[in-house]
Amino acid sequence: MPGTEEKKKTGMAMEEIIKENEISEIVKIVLDDYKGSKNIDVMNLYNNPSKAEVTELVKNLFRLVYPGYYKDKSYKIYNPDNSLAVTVEDIFYHLNKQVTLALDFCKLRGEMTEEDRKIESYRICKEFFYKVPGIRRTIETDLLAAYDGDPAAGCFEEIILAYPGLVAITVYRLAHELYLLRVPVIPRLMTEYAHSKTGVDIHPGASIGDYFFIDHATGIVVGETSVIGSHVKIYQGVTIGALSTRGGQKLSGKKRHPTIGDNVTIYAGASILGGETVIGNNSIIGGNTFITSSVPEGTRVSIKNPEMEYRTRDNVVKTEEIKQSDEWYYII
């Protein structure tokens, strides 16, 4: 008769066989589920744009926009022009590759052959690079707006290297040009990368004028059909959004988000909603306001004076109205 040790070994072997059979069954259940008709069943492993490559593209584009601030530390640069030339060629190659893949998903162009996609992608990338000097000129105005608008900014270098608002705006400026060139998927991957890094969610379809400043960043949402003028300053937690998206795809392409005029300041926590809502030039929108209708030029909007309640140990209650003055708008 088998001894105790042999019984243990036999028992362990049977246990391993049972586990292996169970795992095989689990694998089969999962793989069989991929054979359905769900959109998420598609396994087009080699013909989808790569999030990782788009992220690297964004990082390399920052080297193009800010050549003295975002450089590759892995090699020494003796000739900046040569180094930037290599960077431009590298970006063009990888952008062309990703756009070619993305064009397979474009509803606006209809069916395209692989050759057609390659030709169109090359044209798009070439046009995008011709726009780079103009993009950089606009980003320069955003940098100036940040410096002029924030007394805490010590220098331009600090803003470029440390301000998440400028990072989000820079990515938006680049993605917006690709959006205007009707590139699918890629612009959204770019701005969602910025969203994950900064907490600022700007849809690449939004139209934003020059001298745009986001102070403190975090929790800011700017919807696809938003139109924002020049010299606009917004603070953390601001939403420029739609009143309702219950219509789903029926609302695609329609103006769902507000229009913000020139020289407008929107303070922390404000929500401005609706495609027909227009904030007039030179207006100031106070913190925590909720706006769903248009505001005339030169208007100052604030919530009604709140009250503070003080309760002592003897349960004596005292209320005091918080007085609002011009300075109230600037308390962050």
Would 157 be classed as within a structural domain? Answer: yes
Would 96 be classed as within a structural domain? Answer: yes
Supply 215's token pair: 């102070």
Would 65 be classed as within a structural domain? Answer: yes
Contact residues for 273 (Cβ-Cβ < 8 A; gap 6+): 239, 241, 242, 243, 257, 258, 290, 291, 292
Give Rg (Cα) of the chain. 27
Would 115 be classed as within a structural domain? Answer: yes
Would 183 be classed as within a structural domain? Answer: yes
- Cα atoms found within 13 Å of the Cα of residue 180, Cβ hemisphere only: 13
| Residue position matching structure tokens 């706006």 | 291
Would 277 be classed as within a structural domain? Answer: no
Q: Which of 166, 168, 186 is nearest to 91 (CA)?
A: 186
- Cα atoms found within 13 Å of the Cα of residue 57, Cβ hemisphere only: 26
Structural domain count, the chain: 1
Taking the C-alpha atoms of residue 233 and residue 264, their distance in angstroms, rounded to an integer, is: 6
Q: Are 228 and 209 in contact (CB under 8 A)?
A: yes
Would 284 be classed as within a structural domain? Answer: no
Would 327 be classed as within a structural domain? Answer: no
Taking the C-alpha atoms of residue 300 and residue 302, their distance in angstroms, rounded to an integer, is: 7
* CATH number, residue 159: 1.10.3130.10
| Cα-to-chain-centroid distance, residue 202 | 5
Q: Are 298 and 283 in contact (CB under 8 A)?
A: yes
Q: How many residues appear in the chain?
A: 332
Q: Are 123 and 158 in contact (CB under 8 A)?
A: no
Q: Which domain holds residue 171?
A: 46-205
Q: Are 100 and 116 in contact (CB under 8 A)?
A: no
Per-residue pLDDT of the chain (332 residues; tens, 9 = 90+): 555 565 555 656 666 666 678 888 888 888 778 787 787 766 665 567 889 999 999 999 999 999 988 766 555 566 667 778 888 999 999 999 999 999 987 666 667 888 999 999 999 999 999 999 999 999 999 999 999 999 999 999 999 999 999 999 999 999 999 999 999 999 999 999 999 999 999 999 999 999 999 999 999 999 999 999 999 999 999 999 998 766 677 667 789 999 999 999 999 999 999 999 999 999 999 999 999 999 999 999 988 776 777 777 777 666 665 555 554 454 34
Taking the C-alpha atoms of residue 188 and residue 105, their distance in angstroms, rounded to an integer, is: 13
Q: Which of 253, 255, 245 is nearest to 278 (CA)?
A: 255
Give the 3-state secondary structure of residue 301: strand
Q: Which of 281, 272, 288 is nearest to 331 (CA)?
A: 288
Q: Are 215 and 150 in contact (CB under 8 A)?
A: yes
